[in-house]
C-alpha cells in the first residue's frame, strides 16, 4: 500500500488556510498514485486546542470543511485530525479525533483515548476520552489508528530501553492487539524540546518491537506562539528500525510503502542539541511574525551576549534588514560595548540607531529629587535606566510598527535579574528558555563558519552596565553553578536536599531557590517564551505567586 505522509505547518483557527494546504497535498498524493494520505493531529484547526472551542461558529466551520474534504476522497483514502462533537449529553463537548474519509464518506472516526494534562498539555479541559477500540479496514489491511499520546503509555516492562512510568490505566494498542492489525498509524502534534525527538523515537521503536507491526507516524511542524513543532514524521518497521524519516523544522511530504523494508533510509534529525535549539528558536520567531502578519522587529542592542544572540537569531528568521537595533548607551556604558554592538550590525548588514539615555536619566532623577531627597543611589536608579530604554523601544515599536523582541535569558528570568517594564518588555521572549551557559553555546554555533557575533562580546564578563564597573557576578553566582542548580530545580523538579546531595552548597542552593520563588510575580508579566526545553516558564510551569515553599 502506498501511503503519503503530509507534514504541514498550520495556523491555529485559520480553517481556510489549513484546509487549502490539506487539499493541496491530497491532490499531490492522487497524482503520485498513493492509496492513502495521512495528516497530523487536529490539522484542520491547528494545535493546541484553545477556548475557541467554546464558540459554536468554530464547530460549524469544522463541519463545513469536512464536507469539502469528503468530496476529494473518491480516489484516495484520507486520515486527518479534527475535533468531533460529543453526541452524548454527558461529558466534554468534543473528542480529539482522526477521521477516515473514503469514497466521499466518513467511513470511520477514531477518538483519542489518552488526554495529557501535564506540563504544557491541558486536553482534558476540552476533550472526552475514547472508550471504543476498533481498527480501520482499508485495501484488505487492518490499520490501528492512534492519536499522539495514545502510543506513549506502552507497557515498559517488555522493552529494556524504556523505563518511564505508565500514566494511564488503558493502553489503546493493547485493546486493538487482539484484532491483529497489519499496520499502526499515529497522527500527532508533538511539541519540541531539545531532547524530545530522541524520546519520541524510543516510544515509536518500542511500540513496533512490542506489537511486531510497522508504524507510520505523522506529526505537525511549525511555531505556535510559545510552542514549536519539529516534524520528524517517519516510518518504523516491525523490527523497530526507522526506515524513512521526513525533515525536521520544515514542511515535508513523502510517499512510502510500509511493506517495503528495503527503501532508502532518510534520516533528517539534527544530531547536536545546540543545532536543534537554534532551529527551533528561528522557526518560532519566523512563524510568530508570519502568522501574525508582522514584518519587522526591534530590539535593544547593548553590546552584550544576550542581545547579540537575539539579533543573530532574528536576522536568520526574518532577514537582517528587517531587524532594527537600538543602542542606548548611558554614562556607564563602555566604548567596547558600543563598538561590539555596531560591529554585529555591520557583520549582519542590519540597521541600527543610537539614542543616548544620560540626559533622560538625569532629568528623571531631578524630577524625583523632592521625594528622594538625599537618599543614596541604589537599585532604583538602575531600574530607571532600564525603564527609560523600555520606553524608547516601545515608542519605536508604536510609531514605526516593529515588534519588540525581548532579550532576557532563562537564568535572568529565573532569579529575577531583570526590570519589569524595562528590559522585560517585548512581544516575544526569544531566549526565555535558554540558560546563560546555553547562550554561549548558541553563539559558538552561530560563529561556526565565520565571526557573526564579535568574539569580544562572547569573551568579556557579562554586565548590565547600570553602575560603574558592574558585573553580573556581583549579584549572581557564577553562571555554570547557577545554571546547574536552576536546571535541577526547574527542569528536573528536584528539591534543596536532593540538589545538596549532588554536591552543591546548601546555603547557595537555598539562596537560589528563594530568588526563583520570590520572583514568580515578574514571570507572570513577561512576554510569551519560545519553548525549547522540557520545562519552560509559562503555562507549562504553574507555580502560584502567593505561596510559601
Active site residue 112: yes
The length of the chain, given as a count of residues: 549
DSSP one-letter string for 277-304: HHHHHHHHHHHHHHHHT---EEEE--SS
Active site residue 41: yes
What percent of the chain is helix, strand and coil (3-state, nearest 5)? 40, 20, 40
Other Cβ atoms less than 10 A from the Cβ of 54: the count is 10
CA distance 428 to 405: 6
CA distance 271 to 16: 36
Q: Report which of 543, 534, 544, 491 is spatially closest to residue 227, judged by C-alpha positions.
A: 534
Write the CA distances from 136 to 133, 145, 146, 219, 546, integer angstroms. Answer: 10, 7, 11, 20, 51
Half-sphere exposure of 59 (CA within 13 A, CB side): 14
Assess whether the previous peptide bond of 420 is cis (omega < 30° from 0): no
Q: Report which of 458, 419, 413 is spatially closest to residue 432, judged by C-alpha positions.
A: 413
The contacts of residue 507 (CB under 8 Å, 6+ apart) are none
CB 41 within 8 A of CB 188: yes
CB 161 within 8 A of CB 193: no
Exactly one of 135, 148, 236, 443 is catalytic; name it.
148
Q: Name the helix (H) or strand (E) containing 210.
A: helix 196-211
The contacts of residue 318 (CB under 8 Å, 6+ apart) are 285, 286, 289, 295, 296, 297
**Starting at the edge strand that comes first in sequence, how are the strands of the sheet with 136-138 ordered?**
136-138, 141-147, 183-188, 215-219, 234-236, 242-245
Exactly one of 41, 149, 245, 382 is catalytic; name it.
41
Catalytic residues: 41, 112, 148
Amino acid at each position: 500500500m502506498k501511503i503519503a505522509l503530509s507534514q504541514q505547518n498550520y495556523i491555529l483557527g485559520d480553517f481556510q488556510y489549513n484546509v487549502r494546504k490539506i487539499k493541496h497535498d491530497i491532490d499531490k498524493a492522487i497524482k503520485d498514485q498513493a492509496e492513502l494520505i495521512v495528516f497530523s493531529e487536529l490539522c484542520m484547526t491547528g494545535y493546541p486546542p484553545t477556548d475557541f472551542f467554546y464558540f459554536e461558529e468554530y464547530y460549524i466551520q469544522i463541519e463545513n470543511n469536512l464536507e469539502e474534504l469528503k468530496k476529494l476522497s473518491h480516489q484516495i483514502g484520507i486520515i486527518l485530525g479534527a475535533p468531533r462533537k460529543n453526541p452524548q449529553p454527558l461529558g466534554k463537548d468534543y473528542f480529539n479525533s482522526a477521521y477516515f474519509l473514503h469514497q466521499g464518506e466518513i467511513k470511520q472516526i477514531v477518538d483519542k483515548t489518552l488526554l495529557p494534562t501535564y506540563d504544557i498539555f491541558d486536553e482534558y479541559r476540552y476533550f472526552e476520552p475514547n472508550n471504543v477500540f476498533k481498527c480501520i479496514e482499508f485495501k484488505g489491511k487492518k490499520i490501528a489508528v492512534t492519536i499522539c499520546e495514545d502510543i506513549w503509555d506502552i507497557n515498559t516492562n517488555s522493552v529494556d530501553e524504556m523505563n518511564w512510568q505508565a500514566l494511564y490505566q488503558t493502553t489503546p494498542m493493547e485493546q486493538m492487539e487482539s484484532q491483529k492489525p497489519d499496520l499502526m498509524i499515529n497522527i500527532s502534534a508533538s511539541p519540541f524540546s531539545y531532547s524530545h525527538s530522541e524520546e519520541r523515537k524510543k516510544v515509536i521503536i518500542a511500540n513496533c518491537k512490542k506489537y511486531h507491526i510497522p508504524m507510520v507516524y505523522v506529526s505537525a511542524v511549525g511555531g505556535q506562539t510559545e510552542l514549536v513543532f519539529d516534524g520528524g514524521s517517519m516510518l518504523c518497521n516491525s523490527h523497530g528500525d526507522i526506515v524513512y524519516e521526513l525533515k525536521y523544522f520544515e514542511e515535508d511530504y513523502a510517499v512510502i510503502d510500509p511493506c517495503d523494508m528495503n527503501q532508502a533510509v532518510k534520516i533528517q534529525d539534527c544530531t547536536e542539541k545546540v543545532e536543534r535549539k537554534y532551529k527551533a528558536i528561528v522557526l518560532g520567531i519566523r512563524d510568530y511574525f508570519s502568522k501574525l502578519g508582522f514584518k519587522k522587529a526591534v530590539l535593544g542592542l547593548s553590546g552584550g551576549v544576550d542581545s547579540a544572540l537575539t539579533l543573530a537569531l532574528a536576522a536568520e528568521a526574518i532577514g537582517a534588514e528587517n531587524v532594527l537595533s537600538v543602542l542606548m548607551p548611558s554614562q556607564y556604558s563602555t566604548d567596547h560595548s558600543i563598538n561590539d554592538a555596531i560591529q554585529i550590525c555591520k557583520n549582519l548588514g542590519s540597521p541600527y540607531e543610537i539614542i543616548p539615555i544620560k540626559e533622560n536619566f538625569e532629568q528623571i532623577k531631578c524630577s524625583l529629587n523632592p521625594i528622594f531627597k538625599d537618599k543614596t543611589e541604589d537599585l532604583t536608579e538602575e531600574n530607571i535606566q532600564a525603564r527609560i530604554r523600555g520606553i524608547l523601544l516601545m515608542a519605536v515599536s508604536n510609531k514605526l510598527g516593529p515588534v519588540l523582541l525581548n532579550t532576557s535569558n532563562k537564568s535572568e528570568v529565573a532569579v529575577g535579574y531583570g526590570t519589569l517594564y524595562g528590559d522585560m518588555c517585548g512581544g516575544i521572549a526569544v531566549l526565555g528558555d535558554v540558560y546563560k551557559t546555553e547562550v554561549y553555546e548558541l553563539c559558538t554555533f552561530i560563529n561556526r563558519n565565520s565571526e557573526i557575533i564579535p568574539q569580544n562580546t562572547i569573551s568579556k564578563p557579562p554586565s548590565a552596565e547600570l553602575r560603574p564597573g558592574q558585573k553580573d557576578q556581583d549579584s549572581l553566582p557564577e553562571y555554570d553553578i547557577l545554571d546547574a542548580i536552576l536546571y535541577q530545580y526547574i527542569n528536573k523538579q528536584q528539591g534543596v536536599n536532593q540538589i545538596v546531595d549532588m554536591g552543591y552548597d546548601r546555603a547557595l542552593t537555598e539562596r537560589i531557590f528563594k530568588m526563583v520563588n520570590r520572583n514568580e510575580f515578574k514571570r507572570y508579566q513577561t512576554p510569551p517564551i519560545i519553548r525549547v526545553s522540557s520545562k519552560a516558564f509559562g503555562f507549562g510551569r504553574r507555580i502560584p505567586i502567593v505561596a510559601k515553599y
